[in-house]
Structure 1
């Protein structure tokens, strides 16, 4: 992997992390703006976390929590209300913020990640 490719991977991972690390209010606004379900946040992260697995440590833990949330059918982890109330969302936010801090990457505003609504679940 050359430096340019590594830099692109890190950028994509950081954008996904910024969305995961965003406050519940910011995530809600993003979901409404993108016209997708809250699960799209996890799906976007899932699309890129393996790109940075060897470059940005700690990503697997976030993926594992999203996986737990997906497998647990006893609670609706994917409602808009869950963004603010669900323990899993709080845990992934905390982990994502920790990774961004360690990487010296300020979360800043939620990036404008574009989602193709027809391709979204």
Structure 2
């Protein structure tokens, strides 16, 4: 068995995390129900992927532009963690402007990351 290419793994993970963040609320809720976790899991998955991508970028394995494309998503998530508890509920996923903006930022980031990595 060969080791996975760290660039490929980091790219795949950041794209997957961004796609989840960009998904509509019903898809996100279905995903969370399948896992049996709360909405903050979506943010945690992005954070894990972002940290892996950052490490790959710092080692020169992933273009810095990938990090620049994902940075606004990370910054907005940080602001959201400092927000009210109500946005971190299933109802909040569907109704809060914070999640709507996050989806928009994630969609923009996916387009940019895809252009950079393909």
Please indicate, yes or no, whether the TM-score normalized by the shorter chain is above 0.5.
yes
Structure 2 contact 69–113 (Cα < 8 Å) conserved: no
Give the Cα–Cα distance (whole angstroms) in 2 for the partners of residues 26 and 72 of structure 1.
Answer: 23
Which consecutive segments of 4 or more residues in structure 1 shift more than 6 A? none
Equivalenced residue count is 102
Match in the other structure for 1:62: 73
Is 1:90 the equivalent of 2:88?
Answer: no
The two structures, once aligned, show a CA RMSD in angstroms of 1.9
Structure with the higher fraction of residues in helix conformation: 2
In the superposition, the TM-score normalised over structure 2's length comes to 0.77
The alpha-carbon deviation at position 103 of structure 1 amounts to: 3.2
Q: Which structure has the greater CA radius of gyration?
A: 2
Which string of whole-angstrom CA distances, capped at 9 and with x for unpartnered residues, describes residues 88-116 of structure 1?
A: 111111111112122338xxxxxxxxxxx
Unaligned ranges ≥5, structure 2: 58-62
The alpha-carbon deviation at position 40 of structure 1 amounts to: 0.5
